[in-house]
Amino acid sequence: IHDANGLPRTILTEPNGSSAEVLLYGGQVVSWKNERKEELLFMSSKAIWKPPKAIRGGIPVCFPQFGNLGSLEQHGFARNRMWSFDGDTSSLPPANNQSSVDLILKSTEEDLKTWPRSFELRLRISLSAGKLTLIPRVRNTDNKPFSFTFALRNYLSVSDISEVRVEGLETLDYLDNLERRKRFTEQADAVTFDGKIDRVYLTTPTKIAIIDHEKKRTFVLRKESMPDAVVWNPWDKKAKALPDLGDVDYKTMLCVDSAAIETPIVLKPFEEWKGYQELSTVSSSYCSGQ
Ligand code: TA6
């Protein structure tokens, strides 16, 4: 454990030379570098690395509420809490402790005041060559059912947002946060970017490709048990309005999140939900549909 801006963090490494940094604060990945030490995730130049502020970049965990669709603070409170290392990883295959870390956040007396449900939120973060895998699990440790919405907010680093296209969302319905969450259908054969965008694409395919021509890099997002995908870029005006986002940072970021939003996840007492997300990068030879 070292500390980044005073926050305890774990560094994951793997033999091919890629690395990742994970904070106990928020259970948040804050860096993922490939074997050429290129940073693959976006981190705001004005991120505030100070609890209780959420750090704007990497992969914040949005739980038990995505967005402001409920009574809690925006995106819930998991990203503003100090997590701990999870000793009880019996129900997952054993992991190499160089390239993998298991974290847990349990409901506290404090949390019970704002969200009166007791839960255990676990997150396994594993690194392998060209791939970063996150496995979130939520167990209801209460004696009554509860429901939640969830997202892994993937801040991806891109060369120039106007050169990026996203494939895999064509023909899908989406809820447009910029239009009071009205429902639309995606008409284009790929999503491209020329202005602010804030959409929840519903029931997407398992695989979504984010193609960055200039960097000759394609991110592939594969997800399970998180049927929706949020696509967000604040663009210039909103970027200026966000104190923890640099004015031109919007040009080099894109959020494509694994999410369970349209249909909240319902857990009976002692039931556990398990999600899966794999982010991988493919070189320029990647052609869509392969
Ligand atoms: O994409 C959903 C959204 O709520 C946007 O409307 C925008 O507010 C973004 O998330 C950022 O939220 P945050 O709380 O991280 O500033």
Here the ipTM equals: 0.98
Ligand 1 geometric centre to CA of 35 (Å): 31
Name the residue at shortest CA distance from atom 10 of ligand 1: 67
* Strand, coil or helix: 106: strand
Contact indicator for 233, 253 with CB cutoff of 8 Å: yes
Ligand 1 geometric centre to CA of 89 (Å): 32
The whole-number pLDDT of residue 290 equals 43
* Strand, coil or helix: 170: coil
Distance between CA 202 and CA 183 in Å, rounded? 10
List all residues 6 or more positions away from 240 whose beta carbon is below 8 Å from its beta carbon. Answer: 247
Say if residue 79 carries a ligand binding annotation.
Answer: yes
Ligand 1 nearest atom to the CA of residue 54, by list position: 15
Distance between CA 200 and CA 10 in Å, rounded? 31
Distance between CA 225 and CA 246 in Å, rounded? 33
Q: Is the CB of 230 under 6 A from ligand 1?
A: yes
pTM of this prediction exceeds 0.90: yes
Say if residue 9 carries a ligand binding annotation.
Answer: no
- 173-176 and 253-267 beta bridge pairing: unpaired
Ligand 1 geometric centre to CA of 67 (Å): 6
Q: Is the CB of 75 under 6 A from ligand 1?
A: yes
In the predicted model, residues of the chain with pLDDT beneath 50 are: 286, 289-290
Ligand 1 geometric centre to CA of 211 (Å): 23
Ligand 1 geometric centre to CA of 273 (Å): 24
Contact indicator for 283, 216 with CB cutoff of 8 Å: yes
Alpha-helix runs per DSSP H in the chain: 109-114, 235-241
Say if residue 28 carries a ligand binding annotation.
Answer: no
Query: Residue 161 gets which letter from DSSP?
Result: G
Q: Is the CB of 256 under 6 A from ligand 1?
A: no
In the numeric block, the tokens 């793997």 are attached to: 14
Could you tell me which of 137, 157, 171, 160 has the C-alpha nearest to residue 63?
Answer: 137
Q: To test ligand 1's pocket by mutation, which of 62, 63, 66, 74 has the most ligand atoms within 8 angstroms of CB?
A: 74
* Amino acid, single-letter form, for residue 2: H
Q: Is the CB of 67 under 6 A from ligand 1?
A: yes
Distance between CA 68 and CA 149 in Å, rounded? 11
